[in-house]
Amino acid sequence: MYKISVIPGDGIGKEVMEATLHVMEALNLEFDYVYADAGDEYEEISGIALPPETIDIVRNSQACLFGAAGESAADVIVKMRQELDLYVNLRPVKSYPGTKSVFDDLDFVIVRENTEGMYIGLEEYTEEGAVAKRVITRRASERISRFAFDYAKKTGRKKVTAVHKANVLKKTDGVFKDSFYKVGEEYPDLEKEDFYVDATAMYFLTKPQIFDVLVTTNLFGDILSDEGAGLVGGLGLIPSANIGDKQGLFEPVHGSAPRHAGKGTANPAAMMLSAVLMLDYLEEHDEARKMEKALIDVLAEGKVVTGDLGGTASTMEMAAEVRKKLESLS
């Protein structure tokens, strides 16, 4: 039995979480769910967006499923990344049938460093405006590069691409680029290359098929991940994982979408795919592939899907259809 912490959070996070847990009941696995609070709604009640007990619950579980946070997202997700040292943000970019994907043959992964760069929050006002400090260390650059190479090797991929701007940010991105190639020497069977971030953004639009695994710094990874989402139908179809040496937190990236909350129309696909990432993290690969295939079959048929996918189904109606497909595979 797996002990899983569950944080539904705000807005549609509650709805897509309910839908995903409904599907997971059909897996040939047992889960002990421990619920925890975080987000805007909890902050209104308690005055704090992320209580210490929630961090403890996540720390003491084998993995965490997170629904969505609203305006407090930086105080919740960013803080948990730092507190639990979840230094990897993993964002698959994959084309699925029955979606508004720009390309129908994409399958690459963005590995983003999660703990430093521009997002460490070292900002201050000056007489003329403000200044932010960007921190890039060899330790963080080497361990995120090693994760990317290990992930490529483990999943049968052939190439790892570093993304940076070392021609301008010569010292900080110079450290990142040098660390990437230093670690890469340990993986002679994998192809290695690097691109500037602006060129990478262009290649996403012109020839994204060239990518396999990309590894980059925090801000660049954040921007490229959402661009990648746009290539394959939008944020409603993109899962993510935040992974450290001891914990993993899995969440969709669409946010709380307060305008759609409470209507029962939210697309649960990204949350379900985040659960698939969690299953792979737990090394339950067979069950992960079954759950993913069940969702793909529903998307491909296009009959029982939510409005953004061209259907008329509610969140739970789509979940019921995915569960039915999953049960037929078990």
pLDDT at 260: 86
Query: Using the 8-state DSSP alphabet, how is residue 85 labeled?
Result: T
Query: What tokens appear for 149 in the block?
Result: 């190479």
The predicted pLDDT at position 259 comes to 85
Query: Which segments of the chain have a pLDDT < 70?
Result: none
What pLDDT shows up at residue 14? 96
> pLDDT value at position 78?
86
Query: Which residues are 199's β-sheet partners?
Result: none
> What pLDDT is recorded for position 257?
84
- Beta-carbon contacts of 289 under 8 Å, excluding residues fewer than 6 positions away, are none
Cβ-based neighbours of 328, under 8 Å, separated by 6 or more: none
Return the pLDDT at 73. Answer: 87
Q: Please give the domain boundaries of the chain with CATH numbers for all domains.
A: 1-87+237-330 (3.40.718.10), 107-231 (3.40.718.10)
What is the Cα Rg of the chain in Å?
Answer: 20
User: What is the sign of the dihedral through the CA atoms of 139, 143, 145 and 146?
Assistant: positive
Question: What's residue 74's pLDDT?
Answer: 84
Whether 187 contacts 145, CB under 8 Å: no
Q: What confidence score (pLDDT) does residue 19 get?
A: 98
Give the pLDDT of residue 244.
Answer: 97
Contact 68, 11 (CB under 8 A): yes
In sequence order, what are the beta bridge partners of 93?
108
CB 252 within 8 A of CB 239: yes
Beta strands per DSSP E along the chain: 2-9, 31-35, 63-68, 88-94, 107-113, 123-125, 130-132, 159-164, 191-196, 213-216, 239-243, 248-252
Instruction: Copy the structure tokens of residue 277.
Output: 């990432």
| pLDDT value at residue 199 | 98
Distance between CA atoms of 208 and 201, rounded to whole angstroms? 9
